Amino acid sequence: MTFSIKRKKRKTPKQTPRPILVYGNWFQFRAGERLTRSRAVESRMLLSVHKGSGVFRINGEDHPARTGSWFFLPWAHAIEYAADAADPFLVGGLHVIPDHDHGYPVHNQVAHEKSDRLAGVKYRRDADLLCGKHLLEGSFAPRHCRLRALVVYLIESFDPQRPDEAKQRQSAEWLLEEIGIALEDTPPLGPKPRPEVLARVEAHVRQNLDKPLNVPGLARVGKCSVAGIHRLFRHWHDDTPAKWIAGERIEQAAYLLRTTRSPVKNIAEDVGIPDQFQFSRFFKRHAGCSPREYRKRQGIL
């Protein structure tokens, strides 16, 4: 009798996105000019206003665009432009393909409609960049803005007649890095709601303190990249995700020690550190005393 062994298929490891800059240009609008450029642009475009004002209608939603504002548009976006009648804007555009396979021709063009020859080609695709695939926006810093200087340089130096794949890939990486820094450094314009991604991740942590938690898991919950999770926590908590989680564990443990008679062993399990000795060391390192000493210091109703 012959037996056959079914082997599990190995999962192909997820590759890191390979972005590339494929186009850059300026466009000076006339007073009051309106332009419906595209309905399904297959790129992530950085759209920036270098002087003047107007409105960008992005995926059906109006966004005021003034000198110094910038937008990083989602893949397959629709875009309409409406320049101000008195002060029409000068707009810069940089098109990034988030994931372009190596070994395929690099066309310094962008598919603007589903009928374009580059639309839907298998080697040009979207990818999670800068914590997700959604619209990002910000403003150039008033002085010494590296992102603004980089945008000007990349547009001025881009030459579709003299392609340089290595340079274009490096340019895309550089641009994405500076957008991430600009997002962190953009001062809030008045009270700003916490990002929905961060709220979802925080709620997940607090509901699962008794389970192992790590940054890749938080990224899956937030539907963004690991780098994006780190950026969110640096910006909103001024801390790393791991240290913030540790603080939540300590806070919950202290609350249970103060308000319940639950054994220390059970409390340790409730905050995800089932080894009682390890929990005691962890608690003392953060609270300055052991769990039992902390409990003795607390009064009773």
Q: State whether 222 and 141 are in the same domain.
A: no
**Domain annotation covers residue 9:** no
pTM of the model: 0.59
**Domain annotation covers residue 13:** no
At what angle are helices 215-222 and 241-259 packed, to 10 degrees?
Answer: 90
Q: State whether 200 and 181 are in the same domain.
A: no
Ordered per-residue pLDDT tens for the chain, 301 residues: 443 444 445 544 557 889 999 999 999 999 999 988 667 899 999 999 998 999 999 999 999 999 999 999 999 999 999 999 988 999 999 999 999 999 999 999 998 888 889 988 999 999 887 656 788 988 887 666 889 999 999 999 998 888 899 999 999 999 999 998 888 765 544 445 668 888 889 999 999 999 999 999 999 999 989 998 999 898 888 889 999 999 899 989 988 988 888 999 999 999 999 998 999 999 998 888 899 988 887 655 4
Residue 271's domain spans which residues?
A: 193-301
Say how many domains are in the chain.
2
Q: State whether 273 and 170 are in the same domain.
A: no
The angle formed by the CA atoms of residues 200, 58 and 172, to the nearest 5 degrees, is 75
Q: Where among 146, 163, 185 does a domain terminate?
A: 185
Q: State whether 35 and 125 are in the same domain.
A: yes
**Domain annotation covers residue 223:** yes
Report residue 245 as tokens.
């989680």
Q: State whether 201 and 152 are in the same domain.
A: no
Q: Of 51, 50, 47, nearest to 63 (Cα)?
A: 47
